[in-house]
């Protein structure tokens, strides 16, 4: 029998949606924290195939999710392109910045990424062997705009101001960076698929800060190009697109870029999504991650409301963003039970 996740992505309306969570392998789990301590630091964990596979499998063993997502980070691609990358404890990632044409010249060509990223492909191969037969393996990458925002600012920013500034003042350099990331992302995801990923997801976490033509040029167009290239190389591979906080631009986005499923953040309602987005195919989402912290009857009611609102079409149940480190692991089990009993 085809896996539940793949059936939903193929457009099938199921009595109970498949369930997984963004960042389901992460700091809210004590077993993850133990494995990360064993690895030494976050990047060492990402580049250790055995330990990265272990943390990917941990939430599957604990909860029985319908899908596992490769444990890695969207900033491994900029590092493979030649950017310096390090993590500051309690503050997050830092990168050397790309802000000029001269900086662009120091980056490696897109087809030079594989040597650095080979441990990630090894992790995928381990997972494709070790996951339960019913569990779908998801590979992923950051979308070009989101990755570019980190490469330009050297860190995460609230308003993506440095990236917008470069886009508006030196569009040639900015466009060249988007092109390089797009090319690398196609190669990276293609190699994940070759290693055993059954689905890939494109995370555009900062898509919502792009407006008008900029959204078309730097969120929609790169996603369309990446998905078309992947489907040409790997016919039938399902792709999930996540243009986070796109608002009304969620409408028609899946069809425009060729995605099999559109993931939704929790700033839009499931009822709105059923009327405006799910009419085109599968949607994923979209419970507020705060319920994984607060729990209680509100968690159950919200999980069941979303499940019922999206019951009329293909749906993958997920959060509207990643689970947070302060979440209660018991609340995850309550969420799964609520969805499966809705």
Indicate if 23 belongs to the active site.
yes
Give the integer Cα–Cα distance in Å for 52 and 74. 14
CB atoms within 10 A of CB 158: 7
17, 13, 12: which is closest to 303 by C-alpha? Answer: 17
Spatial CB neighbours of 337, under 8 Å, sequence gap ≥ 6 = none
Listing from the earlier edge strand, what are the strands of the sheet with 136-142? 67-69, 136-142, 199-204, 239-243, 261-263, 282-287, 315-319
The helix-helix angle for 161-169 and 171-195 (nearest 10°) equals 120
> Are the C-beta atoms of residues 98 and 83 closer than 8 Å to each other?
yes
Catalytic residue among 7, 33, 36, 340: 36
216 included as an active-site residue: no
201-205-207 Cα angle (round to 5): 105
Active site residue 27: yes
Residue 172 is given by DSSP the state H
CA Rg, the chain, in Å? 19
CB-based contact 227:243 (threshold 8 Å): no
| Length, in residues, of the chain | 342
Active site annotation includes 129 = no
- Which of 28, 63, 73, 180 does the annotation list as catalytic? 73
**Strand partners of residue 242:** 203
Chain position carrying tokens 């209680």: 296
Q: Write down the catalytic residue from 23, 225, 244, 290.
A: 23
Check: CB of residue 320 under 8 Å from CB of residue 287: yes
Q: Which tokens hold the place of 131?
A: 């996951």
Q: Which of 7, 27, 94, 305 is catalytic?
A: 27
Please tell me the distance from the alpha carbon of residue 328 to that of residue 322, in angstroms, as a whole number: 14
Alpha-carbon gap, residue 283 to 271, rounded angstroms:
12
In the set 150, 225, 244, 334, the catalytic residue is 150
Q: Does residue 219 contact residue 145 with C-beta atoms inside 8 Å?
A: yes
Q: Are 97 and 153 in contact (CB under 8 A)?
A: yes
73 has catalytic annotation? yes
Residues designated as active site:
23, 27, 36, 73, 150
């Amino acid at each position: 029998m085809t896996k539940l996740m793949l059936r939903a992505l193929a457009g099938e309306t199921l009595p109970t949606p498949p369930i997984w969570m963004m960042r389901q392998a992460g700091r809210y789990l004590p077993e993850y924290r133990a494995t990360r301590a064993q690895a030494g630091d976050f990047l060492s964990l990402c580049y250790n195939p055995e330990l990265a596979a272990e943390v990917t499998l941990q939430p599957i063993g604990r909860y029985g999710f319908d899908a596992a997502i490769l444990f890695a980070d969207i900033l491994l691609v900029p590092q493979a392109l030649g950017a310096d990358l390090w993590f500051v404890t309690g503050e997050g990632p830092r990168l050397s910045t790309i802000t000029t044409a001269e900086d662009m010249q120091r980056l490696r060509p897109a087809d030079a990424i594989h040597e650095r990223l080979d441990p990630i492909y090894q992790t995928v191969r381990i997972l494709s062997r070790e996951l339960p037969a019913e569990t779908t393996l998801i590979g992923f990458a950051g979308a070009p705009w989101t990755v570019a925002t980190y490469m330009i600012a050297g860190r995460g920013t609230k308003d993506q101001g440095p990236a917008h500034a470069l886009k508006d003042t030196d569009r040639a350099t900015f466009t060249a960076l988007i092109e390089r990331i797009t090319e690398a992302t196609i190669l990276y995801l293609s190699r994940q698929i070759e290693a055993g990923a059954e689905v890939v997801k494109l995370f555009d976490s900062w898509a919502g800060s792009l407006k008008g033509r900029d959204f078309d040029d730097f969120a929609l167009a790169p996603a369309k190009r990446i998905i078309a290239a992947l489907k040409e190389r790997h016919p039938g591979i399902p792709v999930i697109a996540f243009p986070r906080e796109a608002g009304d631009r969620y409408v028609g986005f899946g069809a425009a870029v060729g995605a099999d499923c559109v993931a939704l953040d929790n700033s839009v309602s499931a009822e709105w999504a059923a009327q405006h987005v799910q009419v085109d195919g599968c949607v994923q989402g979209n419970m507020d991650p705060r319920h994984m912290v607060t729990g209680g009857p509100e968690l159950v009611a919200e999980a069941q409301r979303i499940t019922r609102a999206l019951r009329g079409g293909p749906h993958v149940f997920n959060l509207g963003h990643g689970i947070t480190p302060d979440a209660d692991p018991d609340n995850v089990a309550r969420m799964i039970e609520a969805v499966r009993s809705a």
